[in-house]
A and B are shown apart, each in its own frame.
Chain A
């Protein structure tokens, strides 16, 4: 075991994460005394900013929280406001919403896989070095991502911060003819995404395991993205069974608390750190992946998702994301195939004084919105719980465990440089969208 003076490691600029954050590690001899992930959080600003706005405005305003997942914010805001007004959107309009959401999944997951996460496995400093040494893979990733961009552009009206989404549906729905070129692009991307699953499945994965609870949206029969209820897969050693709860219970179960070192609130699920995102979805819903995606998962070393296999190694999340891209592409193609333009692009949403909430699966995990509306439809209260803020405590636990295991394996002192690299990888495994939950990571190591 590593002996020596105590130290504090501070990582001040974590590259390749979406946004800005900092890690502070306090070490005493071979032990990790504290691991703190500090993030700076815009949703808090948006919650205050939304008060007094009309009930039609949150989808467009909250879309600005993040350039990577604006659709997730729009979809969740729409559903929460529709819930407050007692309206359910279904049929072709709901299908089109899902198609738009899959577009964002394809974009976001492909970006993370090829440009942010893969360099860690290739021994490259960054995406630029990866592009020099693995050009074909990086170009493939960009093409897959661009297929997702195209979906968002066609349905959303423009590539970033879509403008075609509104409470009740869309301003305009596409014709079948408009979707034909999109389908051809998605089919090519699906073949390339299968190639990516094979590519990332062949990476070397360090041993690691997240032993806490997983939280994902659960809707038996489908790999839930925008329907169902939050469900929990207990920790491996727990005697509890799976449980789920209605979305109206979300804030009682996922309780946020202020920590002094971060402007983002930290959440705990029933008092314990939990993980939301790709690994949680795969564990709870893997049996309902599209057959092509399930087949790709089986061939990638993840095991058989239709048999309920659970992957707890955060490093392998890159493979799960790649499988999810195949799933999103196949589902998007099915929606386009069955699409008949609706008579109306939106349903009427008559306003009333009420509170409504909703959760959907953003690429990084569960995203929760709640709005209280006054009699005139103005927002009187807004609450947004992004996935990265939920994962913060679990990421800290992962940092403690991984750094602790590394120190325990070594007879001599482990240098700060190696610990910084380890922490960066550990954080990137969880694809934190720190611009949602709040800009680059700073790492401080304090050795006492």
Chain B
């Protein structure tokens, strides 16, 4: 079965920098990224697990909280490491993306490939609008996600990953 490429922007636009993921999806939607399924998620595990099928390539855009970090810095994490992000993803809910990936692995429901592009945020308090460093990093984050979408759409051997 041929899989789709699914882009998921995870986060809450009403929690300032947590809105980076949805903002990436909005940017891709505006430029009309063909042949990829675009979705946003608040990080709810039940709904996230429903967003992909085993044959899919999943590209996630997300915000990271890193207390000693540098807001606006970009990170790329693949499925095998995504579960180790538990302590740092900025989900406003008890189970976030990292737990969902670990849960998917425990239930044999991981997609064929999963890559997370994340930006370090500065402010996750209630409110709208991204902070300056995250806003400045957004075009680069969109490029990373778009590159992964293109890589996911190329035919590849069954064991192929996504860049």
Q: Which residues of A contact B (CB under 8 A)?
A: 15-20, 40, 42, 44-46, 64-65, 67-68, 107, 110-111, 115-116, 126-128, 131-132, 135, 138-139, 142, 145-146, 149, 159-160, 435, 439-440
Contact = CB atoms under 8 A, between A and B. Distances in A.
Nearest to B51: A159
B47 A128 contact: no
B126 A42 contact: yes
19 contacts: A19-B92, A40-B125, A42-B14, A45-B126, A46-B126, A64-B13, A67-B43, A67-B44, A67-B92, A110-B46, A111-B44, A115-B103, A116-B95, A127-B103, A131-B106, A138-B107, A160-B40, A160-B41, A160-B42
A132 B106 contact: yes
A309 B106 CA distance: 39
A160 B47 contact: yes
B127 A115 contact: no
- Cβ-closest 3 pairs across A and B: A67-B42, A131-B106, A45-B126
Nearest to A161: B42
Given A17-B94, A67-B43, A440-B94, 18 more contacts: A20-B92, A40-B125, A42-B126, A64-B12, A65-B14, A68-B44, A110-B46, A111-B45, A127-B45, A128-B83, A128-B102, A128-B105, A135-B106, A135-B107, A138-B103, A138-B107, A159-B47, A160-B42
Output the residue of B14, B41, B124 with the most chain A CB within 10 A. B14
A149 B50 contact: yes
Contacts of B43: 67
Contacts of B13: 64
Nearest to A159: B47
A16 B94 contact: yes
Contacts of B12: 64, 67
Contacts of B105: 128
Contacts of B44: 67-68, 111, 160
Nearest to A42: B126
Given A64-B14, A127-B45, A160-B44, A19 B106 contact: no
Output the residue of B12, B42, B93 with the most chain A CB within 10 A. B93
Interface residues of B, number: 28
A20 B83 CA distance: 20
A136 to B, nearest CB: 10
Contacts of A132: 106
Nearest to B65: A439
Contacts of B92: 19-20, 67, 435, 439
B120 interface: no
Given A64-B14, A67-B93, A439-B92, A131 B50 contact: no
B56 interface: no
Interface of B: 12-14, 40-47, 49-50, 83, 92-95, 99, 102-103, 105-107, 124-127
B46 A145 contact: yes
Contacts of B126: 42, 44-46
B127 A18 contact: no
B35 to A, nearest CB: 21
Contacts of A435: 92-93
B93 A107 contact: no
A126 B126 CA distance: 27
A16 B94 CA distance: 5
Given A18-B94, A67-B12, A138-B107, A45 B127 contact: yes
A40 B92 CA distance: 11
A40 B124 CA distance: 12
A40 B126 CA distance: 9
A128 B99 contact: yes
A131 B47 contact: no
Contacts of B125: 40
A131 B42 contact: no
B107 A139 contact: yes
A443 B92 CA distance: 18
B107 A111 contact: no
Contacts of B83: 128
B86 to A, nearest CB: 9
A149 B46 contact: yes
B102 A142 contact: no
Output the residue of B43, B46, B103, B125 with the most chain A CB within 10 A. B46
B95 A115 contact: yes
Contact of B94 (A19, A64, A142): A19
Contact of A16 (B47, B95, B106, B124): B95
A425 to B, nearest CB: 14
A18 B46 contact: no
A162 to B, nearest CB: 13
Nearest to B12: A67
Nearest to A144: B46
A321 B136 CA distance: 45
Nearest to B42: A67
A107 B93 CA distance: 15
Nearest to A107: B46
Contacts of A128: 83, 99, 102-103, 105-106
